[in-house]
Amino acid sequence: RRCARDTTATYRVLDEQRIGVVNACVQSDGSPYAVDGVAWVLDSETNAKLEVSFIPAWLRWLPFGRGDYWVIELDADYGWVVIGEPRRRYLWILARTPQLPAATYEAIVARLPAHGYDPARLLRSPGR
């Protein structure tokens, strides 16, 4: 919600059970915003269920401040992914390109109700 444009999510493998996450964007006043986090793999069989934390690194050992981060759909060529969580309150459509083709985006959105999500609640991130 705080991002006006150029929203990115960058991931890097830290080890077999952890992934580094940096979410960044440009805010409406033109200033950059970034937050560092860590995601832990909860389901090593599929790697589709993770737990993520963006609280400061020195507090991450505590058992709170973490959220579910579940892969709901994944493009066969890894061009996009749909991420949600079990309460269906949050959902992200992430892509490797600044914009998905309209037909791809519309097809993803059309499948969201089958996963229990209300497409009307989606907010599109402005492009570059």
pTM: 0.86
- Lowest model confidence (mean pLDDT) among 2-11, 19-28, 74-83, 87-96: 2-11
CA distance 45 to 47: 6
* Tokens 């090593």, located at residue: 44
pLDDT at 127 over 70: no
Percent of the chain with pLDDT over 90: 73
Q: What is the pLDDT of residues 27-64, one digit of tens each?
A: 999 999 999 999 999 998 998 999 999 998 888 878 78
Q: What is the pLDDT of residue 61?
A: 79
Question: What residues have CB less than 8 Å from 83, skipping those under 6 apart?
Answer: 69, 70, 71, 72, 91, 92, 93, 94
**Distance of alpha carbon 18 from alpha carbon 94, whole angstroms:** 19
Q: Do the Cβ atoms of 60 and 50 come closer than 8 Å?
A: no
128 has pLDDT over 60: no
- The one-character DSSP state at 88 is S
